[in-house]
């Protein structure tokens, strides 16, 4: 008996898998916390920074390593915040730089708009391949849809325009989250660093007032240590929060600029399609 083999249905081409992109904060932040603690304990707390080589004593005059170490147990937490802001700022800078592509965005937008005005869609797609990055990817996706719709006689012009607009929006929505990833961490640390610093400041002032409240003559060494602890935590927290705020504003402005360029060229593609189809 002859067995009839079933002809398998043609497999649907799988969409290219997009990488999540960026560093994983669940892994990176604990590592940075360990690095911060080790730096606090063995670099800033090295005996060479203290009188008599004893970290329990006062720092050597003018030795800022020892002064920072005397900031107390909140300092490693602030170090972690500062390192997190630094690492994720570098990571976002690289990611957004790659999203821009290999050349000037403004020049790319002008070139693609000029090619579309001459109805040279294939040449415009070639420019997208040269530009790469998020902008190039979105524009290329839209232009491929442009070519597909141009030869589709089953849809009306209005339906084609709606389909083209939807394609641009979907391509943009896939690219933007890649750019905005981990920005929430930087924005959060801009406020959390200040609160952690405030906690360190309060603990330092508690120690300072406790030294003032001793019977008889106040313990001047404990008083100085408490005030130093408060000021060190305040300085570290405010500095970290300031850098985080600046970085967050810078990156959001870069992303807004890329979004504006995508919207501008997307509108040009739709206008060109309407004029030539």
pLDDT of residue 218: 67
Partners of 59 in the β-ladder: 50
Q: What angle in degrees, to the nearest 10, is found between the helix axes of 133-150 and 220-276?
A: 20
- Computed over every residue of the chain, the mean pLDDT equals 85
Tallying the residues shown for the chain, one arrives at 277
pLDDT of residue 217: 67
Q: Which two tokens stand for residue 186?
A: 């930087």
Over residues 6-50, the pLDDT tens digits come to 444 333 333 334 444 578 999 999 999 999 999 999 999 999 999
pLDDT of residue 30: 96
* pLDDT over threshold 60, residue 236: yes
Q: Are 101 and 133 in contact (CB under 8 A)?
A: yes
Pick 217 or 208 by higher pLDDT: 208
- CA proximity to 193, closest of 153, 242, 127: 242
- CA proximity to 78, closest of 247, 232, 228: 232
Most confident option among 3-17, 93-107, 179-193, 259-273: 179-193
pLDDT of residue 213: 67
pTM of the model: 0.82
CA distance 147 to 23: 36
20 by DSSP, 3-state: which?
A: coil
pLDDT of residue 93: 93
* pLDDT over threshold 90, residue 89: yes
Give the chain's radius of gyration (CA, Å): 29
pLDDT of residue 210: 79
CA angle (105, 108, 112) in 5-degree steps:
140
For 101-117, what is the mean pLDDT?
A: 86
């Amino acid at each position: 008996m002859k067995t009839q083999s079933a002809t398998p249905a043609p497999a649907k081409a799988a969409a290219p898998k997009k990488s999540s992109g960026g560093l994983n904060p669940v892994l990176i932040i604990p590592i940075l916390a360990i690095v911060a603690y080790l730096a606090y304990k063995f670099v800033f707390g090295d005996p060479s920074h203290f009188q008599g080589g004893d970290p329990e004593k006062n720092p050597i005059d003018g030795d800022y390593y020892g002064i920072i170490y005397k900031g107390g147990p909140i300092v490693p937490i602030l170090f972690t915040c500062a390192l997190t802001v630094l690492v994720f700022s570098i990571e976002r800078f690289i990611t957004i730089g790659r999203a821009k592509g290999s050349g000037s965005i403004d020049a790319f937008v002008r070139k693609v708009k000029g090619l579309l005005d001459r109805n040279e869609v294939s040449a415009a797609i070639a420019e997208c391949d040269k530009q790469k990055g998020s902008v190039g990817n979105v524009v290329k996706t839209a232009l491929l849809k442009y070519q597909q719709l141009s030869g589709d006689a089953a849809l009306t012009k209005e339906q084609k325009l709606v389909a083209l607009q939807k394609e641009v929006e979907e391509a943009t929505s896939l690219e933007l989250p890649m750019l905005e990833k981990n920005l929430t961490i930087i924005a959060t640390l801009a406020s959390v660093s200040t609160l952690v610093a405030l906690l360190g400041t309060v603990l330092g002032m508690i120690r300072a007032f406790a030294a003032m409240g001793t019977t008889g003559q106040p313990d001047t060494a404990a008083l100085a240590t408490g005030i130093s602890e408060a000021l060190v935590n305040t300085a570290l927290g405010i500095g970290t929060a300031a850098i985080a705020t600046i970085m967050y504003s810078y990156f959001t402005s870069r992303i807004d600029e890329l979004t504006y360029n995508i919207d501008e060229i997307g509108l040009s593609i739709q206008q060109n399609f309407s004029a030539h189809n």
